[in-house]
C-alpha cells in the first residue's frame, strides 16, 4: 500500500513510500532517503504529481510512539502556509535532531508525576474576578488577556487557572520569553503545585530532551515550561497554553525558520480547540487592537499584590549638571543612591548595552574597529579583553600596531554596562556589585547569583534589559536609568511601544514587597514624552494614541508587512538580482512593494543584505500568492531569499 511520508528537510511536500504494514495519518516511520535512513511522519495528503514513473521504496518500520494528532498536523500545515516555510522544515521543528524520543519506562517520568497540591491561596477580590473571567469558556478555544500592573500577582491567577485544567487530566504549556527566567520560575511553580514541570529550551541536555519529548507524547508529563520551541512538542492532550509577557520581542524567532511564537501559540490553541491566556503589564499593539475589536476577552489587575505601591519617578536634568570627564553618573544620582543604600535598599543601574564600550577609535590613525563580517562596530568587552561582534560572534584582541606610529592609542566612545560598573565601583568601593546581562547570567553560576540577589547579598546591580524580564528581587527599591535618551532614538516603527513595555517592566522590578521605591531618569531632554508615558499608571492612553497613528498610516496591525531579504556574497550581483526579482513579482501580486533597499545592517556574517517590503491586506491570500510566485522564480547561484512575515525588526 502507498503512503505519503513527510520528511524533515527543505521539501514542501511528502514523498510516496510503500509498506505492507497498515499505517494511519500521524504515525512516525523510519524510511530510506538517499543513502541514509530518516524519521518521517505519515502525512494527510500525497505529493502533487502522482504521474511520475519511478520505483517506490519501502518503509523500514513503524516507530513505537504515539502518532501525531490530526489537529497537530493541521497546525503544522497552516504554520507552513502562513510563514512561507517548507512543510518538511516545519516538521523538523518537532523532532530531536531529526529523530523522535523513544518510549521509556514509567519510572523515568516519576519526578514529573507528583500529586498536585489541592490548596487555594487567598487571592484578592480583583484576582478572584480575573480568575473567574479567565475560567469562562475554558473548555474550548478562546483568547483571554490578563493585563496587570507589575507585581499585581498575575502569575498566581494563571497558576490557579492552570490547576483547574490539570485536574481534568490535561496537559499545560507555559511559555516564557527568556530561558534565564526558568530557574526562578520553576522554583515558584514547584512551591505552588508540588509538581515538577518539564523545562524546555535550547540549553537543556540531549538526554533530558529525549525524556521530555517522549513524556509529553505519551501524556506522562503534565506541564512544560519553555521558550519558543516548546510550542512544537507533540502534546498528547494539551489543555491550555499560557504566554507570559506576551508583548516580549524575544518571542520572535528571527533566524533560520522565522516566526512569532506568540502568534503561532494562538493558532495552535485554535487548532487544538483549547483556551490560551496572554499575560502582560502593557499588551502589544496587536493584542490591544484585538481586545478593542472584541476578538479577545480581558481582565485587569490594577493594584499591586498586598497593595504595594508602584515606584515614584524623578527626572534628573543633565542640562543643569556638569558631568565629570569620562563620567556617566551625575553627583545627584550618587547622592540618591547613597540615601537608598543607607536604608538597606538594593540598587539597580540600568543601561541597555552589553560590554564596556560600543565603539573603539584610535586617536592617532582614526581607525574605528568594525566587524570584518558585518557592517557594525565591534563592542569592547574589558573583562575578556576582546572586541566582539554581537551579531556574528567574531572576536579579536584590542592590542594592535598603529599605521601612524607604534601601537594604537584608543578612545572608548560611549558606555556599556562594564564601564558603568567600573564607575559605580569607584563611588561605592565597599559594596558588593554585580553585572546582570546575558554575558554574565547564562552561565551555570547564574542560579547562585540569583539567590544572592534575592537575599540582598549583592547590594548594587548594573543590568541590561534581561533584568526587566520578570525576576522578583524583594529588596530592589531604587532604579537609575543611566541613559534613557539612547533608548528614545531610532527609526523602528515599534520603537515607542518596545520602550514603553521595557521601562514598565523595568520599573516593576522595584518596590514589590511594599517598601517605598524610586526610579531616577538621567536625561538631557526632561520633556521626553516616553518618560511621561512610563510614569502614567494607565498604559491604555499610550496604546490608544499609538493605534490611531498606526491606523492613520496603514501600519500593522491594520496592514500586513512581509519582508523579503535577499543575501549574497557579491554586492553588485545581489543588487541586480533584487531589482530583477522585484520586476518579476510586482505585477503578479495585489500588494504594494517597497524597495529594494540596503538593509540597515547591510553586511551580516559575510553576506550582503537587500530588503523588499510587501505591504498588503491581512489575509492568507497574500502569502499563498507570494508562495506561488517565489516557487516560479529561479534565483542566481549564491543568492538566498529569507521571508519574514509580520517583521518586528528592520535590521
What mean pLDDT comes out for the span 487-507?
77
What mean pLDDT comes out for the span 80-103?
91
Q: Grade residue 495 by pLDDT with cuts at 50, 70 and 90.
A: confident
Cross-strand partners of 223: 172
Question: Which class in CATH covers the domain with range 311-356+415-536?
Answer: alpha beta
Q: 187-217, pLDDT tens digit by residue? A: 899 999 999 999 998 888 899 999 999 999 9
Pairing of strands 36-42, 252-253: unpaired
CB atoms inside a 10 Å sphere around CB 572: 9
CB atoms inside a 10 Å sphere around CB 406: 8
Lowest mean pLDDT among 141-145, 157-161, 196-200, 472-476: 472-476
CB atoms inside a 10 Å sphere around CB 13: 17
Q: 598-638, pLDDT tens digit by residue? A: 998 999 999 999 999 999 999 899 999 999 999 999 999 99
The per-residue b/e assignment along 38-56, b for 16 or more CB within 10 angstroms, e otherwise, is bbbbbbeeebeeeeeeeee
pTM over 0.85: yes
Instruction: Return the residue matching grid coordinates 537575599.
Output: 455
Query: What span, in angstroms and rounded, lies between the C-alpha atoms of 87 and 66?
Result: 21
The pLDDT of residue 445: 65
> Could you give the strand order of the β-sheet that contains 592-604, starting from the edge strand earlier in sequence?
592-604, 607-616, 560-568, 640-645
Spatial neighbors of 54 by CB under 8 A, at least 6 apart, are: none
The pLDDT of residue 466: 83
Question: Could you give the residue ranges of the DSSP H alpha helices within 473-601?
Answer: 484-487, 495-507, 529-535, 540-552, 571-586
Cis peptide before 596 (omega within 30 of 0): yes
Predicted confidence (pLDDT) at residue 48 exceeds the cutoff of 70: no
**What is residue 598's three-state secondary structure?**
strand
Cis peptide before 580 (omega within 30 of 0): no
Closest CA to 498 of 303, 325, 282, 218: 282
Predicted confidence (pLDDT) at residue 359 exceeds the cutoff of 70: yes
Q: What is the mean pLDDT of the chain?
A: 90
Cross-strand partners of 173: 224, 241
Residues counted in the chain: 651
Question: Percentage helix, strand, coil, to 5, in the chain?
Answer: 35, 25, 40
User: H or E segment at 73?
Assistant: helix 70-83
| Grid cell locating 476 | 530592589
Query: What span, in angstroms and rounded, lies between the C-alpha atoms of 280 and 282?
Result: 5
Query: What span, in angstroms and rounded, lies between the C-alpha atoms of 333 and 199?
Result: 40
Query: What span, in angstroms and rounded, lies between the C-alpha atoms of 241 and 165?
Result: 10
Predicted confidence (pLDDT) at residue 54 exceeds the cutoff of 80: no
Q: Determine contact, residues 379/388, Cβ cutoff 8 Å.
A: yes
Query: What span, in angstroms and rounded, lies between the C-alpha atoms of 509 and 517?
Result: 10
Domain 2-70+80-94 shares a fold with domain 560-645: no
What is the greatest pairwise CA distance in the chain? Answer: 84
Is the CA virtual torsion 71, 73, 74, 75 positive or negative?
Answer: positive
Distance of CA 20 to the CA centre of its chain: 45
Give the homologous superfamily in CATH for domain 2-70+80-94: PriA, 3(prime) DNA-binding domain (3.40.1440.60)
DSSP 402-431: -SSSSB--EEEES--HHHHHHHHHHH-TTS
Question: Could you give the residue ranges of the DSSP H alpha helices within 95-227?
Answer: 125-135, 154-167, 182-193, 206-218
Q: Grade residue 558 by pLDDT with cuts at 50, 70 and 90.
A: very high
Query: What span, in angstroms and rounded, lies between the C-alpha atoms of 487 and 533?
Result: 14
| Domain covering 560-645: architecture | 2-Layer Sandwich (3.30)
Q: Grade residue 485 by pLDDT with cuts at 50, 70 and 90.
A: confident
Burial grade of 580 (CB within 10 A; 0-12, 13-18, 19 or more): middle
Distance of CA 444 to the CA centre of its chain: 21
Predicted confidence (pLDDT) at residue 487 exceeds the cutoff of 70: no
| Grid cell locating 453 | 540577589
Q: Determine contact, residues 575/597, Cβ cutoff 8 Å.
A: no
The pLDDT of residue 539: 87
Query: What span, in angstroms and rounded, lies between the C-alpha atoms of 497 and 494?
Result: 5
The pLDDT of residue 483: 84
Q: Determine contact, residues 182/199, Cβ cutoff 8 Å.
A: yes
Q: Grade residue 442 by pLDDT with cuts at 50, 70 and 90.
A: low
Question: Greater confidence, 183 or 189?
Answer: 189
The pLDDT of residue 10: 92
| Grid cell locating 550 | 498606526
What mean pLDDT comes out for the span 490-516?
81
Quick one: DSSP state of residue 116? Answer: P
What mean pLDDT comes out for the span 517-538?
82
Q: What are phi and psi of 194, to 5 degrees?
A: 70, 20
Q: 336-348, pLDDT tens digit by residue? A: 999 999 999 999 9
| Domain covering 106-306: architecture | 3-Layer(aba) Sandwich (3.40)
Question: Greater confidence, 319 or 89?
Answer: 89
Show me where the domains of the chain are located: 2-70+80-94, 106-306, 311-356+415-536, 560-645
Amino acid at each position: 500500500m502507498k503512503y505519503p511520508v513527510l520528511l524533515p528537510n527543505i521539501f514542501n511536500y511528502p514523498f510516496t513510500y510503500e509498506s505492507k504494514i497498515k499505517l494511519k495519518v500521524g504515525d512516525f516511520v523510519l524510511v530510506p532517503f538517499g543513502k541514509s535512513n530518516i524519521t518521517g511522519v505519515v502525512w494527510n495528503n500525497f505529493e502533487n504529481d502522482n504521474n511520475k514513473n519511478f520505483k517506490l521504496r519501502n518503509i523500514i518500520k513503524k516507530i513505537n510512539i504515539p502518532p501525531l494528532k490530526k489537529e497537530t498536523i493541521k497546525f503544522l500545515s497552516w504554520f507552513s502556509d502562513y510563514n512561507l516555510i517548507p512543510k518538511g522544515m516545519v516538521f523538523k521543528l518537532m523532532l530531536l535532531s531529526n529523530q523522535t524520543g523513544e518510549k521509556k519506562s514509567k519510572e523515568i517520568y516519576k519526578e514529573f508525576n507528583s500529586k498536585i497540591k489541592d490548596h487555594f491561596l487567598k487571592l484578592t477580590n480583583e484576582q478572584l474576578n480575573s480568575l473567574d473571567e479567565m475560567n469562562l469558556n475554558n473548555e474550548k478555544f478562546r483568547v483571554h488577556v490578563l493585563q496587570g500592573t507589575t507585581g499585581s500577582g498575575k502569575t498566581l491567577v494563571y497558576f490557579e487557572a492552570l490547576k483547574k485544567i490539570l485536574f481534568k487530566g490535561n496537559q499545560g504549556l507555559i511559555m516564557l520569553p527568556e530561558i534565564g527566567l526558568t530557574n526562578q520560575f520553576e522554583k515558584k511553580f514547584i512551591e505552588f503545585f508540588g509538581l515538577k514541570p518539564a523545562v524546555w529550551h535550547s540549553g537543556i541536555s540531549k538526554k533530558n530532551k529525549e525524556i521530555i519529548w517522549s513524556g509529553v507524547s505519551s501524556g506522562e508529563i503534565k506541564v512544560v515550561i519553555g521558550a519558543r520551541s516548546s510550542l512544537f512538542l507533540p502534546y498528547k492532550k494539551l489543555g491550555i497554553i499560557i504566554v507570559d509577557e506576551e508583548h516580549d520581542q524575544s518571542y520572535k524567532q528571527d533566524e533560520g525558520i522565522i516566526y512569532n511564537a506568540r502568534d503561532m501559540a494562538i493558532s495552535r490553541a485554535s487548532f487544538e480547540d483549547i483556551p490560551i491566556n496572554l499575560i502582560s503589564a502593557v499588551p502589544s499593539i496587536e493584542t490591544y487592537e484585538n481586545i478593542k475589536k472584541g476578538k479577545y476577552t480581558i481582565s485587569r489587575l490594577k493594584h499591586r499584590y498586598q497593595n504595594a505601591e508602584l515606584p515614584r519617578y524623578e527626572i534628573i536634568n543633565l542640562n543643569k549638571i556638569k558631568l565629570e570627564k569620562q563620567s556617566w553618573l551625575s553627583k545627584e544620582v550618587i547622592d540618591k543612591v547613597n540615601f537608598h543604600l543607607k536604608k538597606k535598599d538594593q540598587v539597580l543601574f540600568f543601561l541597555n548595552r552589553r560590554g564596556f564600550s560600543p565603539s573603539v577609535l584610535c586617536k592617532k590613525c582614526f581607525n574605528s574597529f568594525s566587524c570584518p563580517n558585518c557592517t557594525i562596530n565591534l563592542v569592547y568587552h574589558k573583562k575578556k579583553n576582546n572586541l566582539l561582534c554581537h551579531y556574528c560572534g567574531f572576536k579579536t584582541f584590542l592590542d594592535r600596531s598603529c599605521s601612524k606610529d607604534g601601537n594604537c592609542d584608543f578612545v572608548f566612545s560611549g558606555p556599556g554596562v562594564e564601564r558603568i560598573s567600573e564607575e559605580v565601583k569607584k563611588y561605592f568601593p565597599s559594596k558588593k556589585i554585580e553585572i546582570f546581562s546575558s554575558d554574565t547570567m547564562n552561565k551555570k553560576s547564574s542560579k547562585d547569583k540569583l539567590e544572592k540577589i534575592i537575599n540582598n547579598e549583592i547590594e548594587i546591580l548594573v543590568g541590561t534589559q534581561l533584568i526587566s524580564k520578570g525576576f522578583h528581587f524583594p529588596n530592589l527599591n531604587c532604579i537609575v536609568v543611566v541613559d534613557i535618551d539612547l533608548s528614545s532614538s531610532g527609526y523602528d516603527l515599534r520603537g515607542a511601544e518596545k520602550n514603553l513595555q521595557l521601562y514598565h517592566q523595568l520599573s516593576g522590578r522595584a518596590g514589590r514587597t511594599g517598601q517605598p521605591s524610586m526610579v531616577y531618569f538621567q536625561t538631557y531632554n526632561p520633556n521626553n514624552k516616553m518618560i511621561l508615558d512610563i510614569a502614567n499608571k494607565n498604559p491604555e492612553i499610550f496604546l490608544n494614541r499609538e493605534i490611531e497613528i498606526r491606523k492613520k498610516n496603514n501600519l500593522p496591525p491594520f496592514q500586513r508587512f512581509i519582508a523579503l531579504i535577499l543575501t549574497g556574497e557579491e554586492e553588485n550581483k545581489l543588487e541586480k538580482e533584487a531589482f530583477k526579482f522585484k520586476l518579476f513579482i510586482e505585477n503578479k501580486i495585489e500588494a504594494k512593494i517597497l524597495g529594494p533597499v540596503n538593509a540597515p545592517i547591510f553586511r551580516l556574517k559575510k553576506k550582503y543584505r537587500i530588503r523588499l517590503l510587501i505591504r498588503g491586506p491581512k489575509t492568507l491570500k497574500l502569502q499563498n500568492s507570494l508562495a506561488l510566485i517565489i516557487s516560479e522564480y529561479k534565483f542566481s547561484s549564491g543568492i538566498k531569499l529569507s521571508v519574514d512575515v509580520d517583521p518586528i525588526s528592520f535590521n
